């Protein structure tokens, strides 16, 4: 008999019974059903219950070093402007004019005020409405009530996190023990030297899963990263909304075998001095923290099957000040520019295969504990009653 297309056991895709196999211990667990990576209804639920409530990573504050420096982004469909105000504070606002809603800022740059391109209402860097042509003929208009809508933005070690939920607990609760565990990298003394964007034809979870398992390395990166030998990366105990792998090794993980690079970060201690950390800050930010630098993979989900990837590369200030920095850093760029497209390509192929009506839940190996963790973390938030009690 021919196999039928896969369809879940229940008509409601949020019925916990469908996910019983995902909840089992890793050795017995199934993957998420394929529709979790292609269904717009599942994606909308993730947006509503995860991305609209989480502390979402949006890069480093050194992107906007001076008062008036700003950049815009659209995160899960919400237009946002991030600006450094005249007091040096980094602030985020909804990028929607309080007149009739046009976006007041575009791209990135430096300005003294945001002037709406539609009817020229103007807002200060603190979001206050400064002027509104002809509004004096309207009755009972209070400028103080029509500033840009502020959004929550908090910093840790120079990294910016945005939260759309006014009631969310502080960023420090979200990060748990991550700042302490990774303190010896002194991220606050680093500078982002390159930021590169890619458009991915895959669901955001496809990409996170790829970054959080090394099972694919001997196949996908067989002639590149695979040459960096060593023991398997190990899952680490963590507290807070993050999980992590740590891998013991010599040298830097940000270089291809045979290349030499910059001196190691002097302050590194403990595990950081003996290998590399690969944390996933839920829902969708991955760091690679190695002996001489850090890089991040920042995901902005666009739809069930499209995601924007931003790769940032940061080095200690002392390294960036070296005379040979711009020459030697090319070796690091070469490593990322080889490995990242390899991951992007396999993610596209996975998304295609997963979107088939004949795709069905798979099984995991012992090398994919974080894939299992992510699936369960998502289900805990997306389902009303994950345990199905
Ligand atoms: S929509 Fe912005 S000034 Fe009219
Ligand atoms: Fe990879």
At 81, is the pLDDT very low, low, confident or very high (cuts 50, 70, 90)?
Answer: very high
Task: Assess contact for 161 and 58: CB atoms under 8 A.
Answer: yes
At residue 46, the pLDDT reads 98
Which residues 6+ apart lie within 8 Å of 100 measured at CB? 118, 119
Rounded to an integer, the average pLDDT of 171-197 is 98
With H, G, I as helix, E, B as strand and everything else as coil, classify residue 132. coil
Pocket of ligand 1 from Cβ distances under 6 Å:
97, 99-102, 116, 118-121
At 1, is the pLDDT very low, low, confident or very high (cuts 50, 70, 90)?
Answer: low
Task: Assess contact for 204 and 341: CB atoms under 8 A.
Answer: no
Using alpha carbons, list the distances in angstroms from residue 368 to 83, 220, 268, 372: 39, 15, 28, 7
Query: Angle 332-333-338 (CA atoms, 0-180°, nearest 5)?
Result: 105
In a 10 Å sphere around its CB, with 0-12 CB exposed, 13-18 middle and 19+ buried, how is residue 244 labelled?
Answer: buried
CA of 104 to the centre of ligand 1 (A): 8
CA of 219 to the centre of ligand 2 (A): 9
Is 71 a residue whose pLDDT tops 70? Answer: yes
Q: What is the pLDDT of residues 344-377, one digit of tens each?
A: 999 999 999 999 999 999 999 999 999 999 999 9
Measure the CA–CA gap between 150 and 135, rounded to whole angstroms: 22
Q: What is the pLDDT of residues 217-238, one digit of tens each?
A: 999 998 888 776 778 899 999 9
At residue 171, the pLDDT reads 98
Which residue, judged by its Cα, is nearest atom 1 of ligand 1? 100
CA of 347 to the centre of ligand 2 (A): 10
At residue 226, the pLDDT reads 73
Q: 79, 95, 99: which to mutate for ligand 1, most atoms within 8 A of CB?
A: 99
Task: Assess contact for 137 and 116: CB atoms under 8 A.
Answer: no
Q: What is the pLDDT of residues 8-55, one digit of tens each?
A: 888 899 999 999 999 999 999 999 999 999 999 999 999 999 999 999
Looking at the CA of residue 132, tell me the nearest atom of ligand 1: 3
Q: What is the pLDDT of residues 287-343, one digit of tens each?
A: 999 999 999 999 999 999 999 999 999 999 999 999 999 999 999 999 999 999 999
Exposure string of 312-348, with b = 16+ CB inside 10 Å and e = fewer, is bbbbbeebbeeeeeeeebebbeebbeebbebbbebbe
Minimal CA–CA distance to 73: which of 197, 220, 201?
197
Is 145 a residue whose pLDDT tops 90? Answer: yes
Minimal CA–CA distance to 159: which of 88, 61, 66, 69?
61
| H or E, element range at 48 | none
Query: Angle 379-375-18 (CA atoms, 0-180°, nearest 5)?
Result: 55
CA of 204 to the centre of ligand 2 (A): 15
Model confidence, pTM: 0.96
At 121, is the pLDDT very low, low, confident or very high (cuts 50, 70, 90)?
Answer: very high
| H or E, element range at 344 | helix 325-354
Beta bridge partners of 92: 82, 151
At residue 246, the pLDDT reads 97
Is 7 a residue whose pLDDT tops 70? Answer: yes
Task: Assess contact for 216 and 358: CB atoms under 8 A.
Answer: no
Question: In percent, how much of the chain has pLDDT > 90?
Answer: 93
Measure the CA–CA gap between 250 and 239, rounded to whole angstroms: 27
What is the bridge-based pairing of β-strands 285-289 and 275-281? Answer: antiparallel
Which residue, judged by its Cα, is nearest atom 4 of ligand 1? 119
At residue 119, the pLDDT reads 98
Measure the CA–CA gap between 5 and 363, rounded to whole angstroms: 18
CA of 13 to the centre of ligand 2 (A): 30
With H, G, I as helix, E, B as strand and everything else as coil, classify residue 248. strand
At residue 5, the pLDDT reads 87
Looking at the CA of residue 100, tell me the nearest atom of ligand 1: 1
Measure the CA–CA gap between 53 and 37, rounded to whole angstroms: 20
Task: Assess contact for 44 and 53: CB atoms under 8 A.
Answer: no
Is 267 a residue whose pLDDT tops 60? Answer: yes
Rounded to an integer, the average pLDDT of 141-164 is 98
Looking at the CA of residue 116, tell me the nearest atom of ligand 1: 2
């Amino acid at each position: 008999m021919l196999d039928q297309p896969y369809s879940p056991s229940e008509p409601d895709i949020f019925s916990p019974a469908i996910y019983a196999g995902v909840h089992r211990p890793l050795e017995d667990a199934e993957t998420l059903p394929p529709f979790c990576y292609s269904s717009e209804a599942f994606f909308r639920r993730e947006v509503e219950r995860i991305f609209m409530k989480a502390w979402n990573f949006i890069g480093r504050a050194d992107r906007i070093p001076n008062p008036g420096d700003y950049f815009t982004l659209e995160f899960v469909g919400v237009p946002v402007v991030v600006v450094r105000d005249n007091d040096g504070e980094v602030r985020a606002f909804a990028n929607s004019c309080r007149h009739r809603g046009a976006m007041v800022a575009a791209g990135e740059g430096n300005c003294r005020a945001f002037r709406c391109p539609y009817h020229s209402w103007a807002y200060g860097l603190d979001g206050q409405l400064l002027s509104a042509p002809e509004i004096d003929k309207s009755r009972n208009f209070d400028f103080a009530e029509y500033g840009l809508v502020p959004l929550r933005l908090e910093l840790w070690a120079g990294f910016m996190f945005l939260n759309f939920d006014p009631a969310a607990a502080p960023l420090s609760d979200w990060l748990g023990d991550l700042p302490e565990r990774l303190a010896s990298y002194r991220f606050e003394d680093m500078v982002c030297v390159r930021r590169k964007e890619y458009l991915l034809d895959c669901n955001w979870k496809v990409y996170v899963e790829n970054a959080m398992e090394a099972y694919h390395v001997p196949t996908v990166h067989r002639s590149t990263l695979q040459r960096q030998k060593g023991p398997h990366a190990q899952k680490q105990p963590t507290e807070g909304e993050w999980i992590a792998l740590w891998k013991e090794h010599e040298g830097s993980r940000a270089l291809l075998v045979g290349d030499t690079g910059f001196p190691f970060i002097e302050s590194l201690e403990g595990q950081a001095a003996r290998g590399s950390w690969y944390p996933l800050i839920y829902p969708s930010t991955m760091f690679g923290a190695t002996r001489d630098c850090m890089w991040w993979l920042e995901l902005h989900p666009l739809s069930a099957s499209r995601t924007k990837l931003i790769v940032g590369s940061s080095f200690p200030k002392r390294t960036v000040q070296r005379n040979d920095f711009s020459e030697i850093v090319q070796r690091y760029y070469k490593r990322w520019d080889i490995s990242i497209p390899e991951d992007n390509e396999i993610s596209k192929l996975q998304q295609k295969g997963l979107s088939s009506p004949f795709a069905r839940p798979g099984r995991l190996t012992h090398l994919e504990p974080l894939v299992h963790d992510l699936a369960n973390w998502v289900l805990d938030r997306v389902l009303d009653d994950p345990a199905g009690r």
